[in-house]
Amino acid sequence: MRLAELSERSGVSTSTIKYYLREGLLAPGRQINTTTAEYDEEHLRRLRLIRAMIQVGRVPVATVKEVLGHVDDDSLGRAIRVGAAVWALPQVPEPDEEDEYVQAAHAEVSTLLDRLGWENAKRLSALSPAYRSLVVGVAAFRRLGYSWGAEQLAPYAELMHRTAVLDVDNMEAHPSEAERIEFAVLGAILNEPLLQALHRLAQEEETTRRYGFE
């Protein structure tokens, strides 16, 4: 397809597509002559991913470029590619390691991972933004006087593991390696808000079931 058709099918303006091409977010099309290039379904799929990251996820262009670099790096194994791509997305601020509540939260999260038998997650804890986010959250609860740690989190973690199994099963259903990694990135941007919305709906359902509407 030509640039105009790519624009029409993707919903991205030609000027924006040209910008993505200049920035290296989108691979060049197959050159037909000095002024015309041809694009294919992979360009269309990549454009939709870029659009989701920038417009829905509010991810800066420089970060999108970094994420896509990991997506396209076929020298890495699948787990590393997925991890590197998702870790490059915007994350919570680094916890203050001198804070006593952060230190206590580290101990609770470590206990949680031991209890669950999540050895790989523990091995990656020094690198993982998800681990740091969990520490920040647990520290915030403890700072406010709530005893929220391994015992309370374990049932939630077991539910999340079942969710992760579904995520990976759905990822593996895609035919190409690039599509699988792209799906994982989209999951971090699009699926997490859906899961949050389902969680809140479930809370509404359960609280009204128990206590009514009064």
Indicate the pLDDT class of residue 21, thresholds 50, 70 and 90. very high
72, 140: one domain: no
* 126: in domain: yes
What residues pair up with 37 in beta bridges, in sequence order? 31
Question: For residue 136, which phi and psi values (nearest 5 degrees)?
Answer: -60, -45
**34 three-class SS:** coil
Supply the pLDDT for residue 154. 96
Is the predicted pLDDT of residue 83 greater than 80, yes or no? no
Among 50-54, 82-86, 166-170, the range with the most confident prediction by mean pLDDT is 166-170
Is the predicted pLDDT of residue 161 greater than 80, yes or no? yes
204, 116: one domain: yes
Domain that holds residue 66: 3-76
104, 72: one domain: no
32, 115: one domain: no
Alpha carbons 64 and 53: distance in angstroms, whole number: 7
Is the predicted pLDDT of residue 110 greater than 90, yes or no? yes
163, 126: one domain: yes
* Boundary (domain end) residue, out of 76, 110, 130: 76
* 94: in domain: no
Which residue did the predictor score with more confidence, 209 or 181? 209
pTM: 0.77
Q: What is the CATH number of the domain that holds 19?
A: 1.10.1660.10
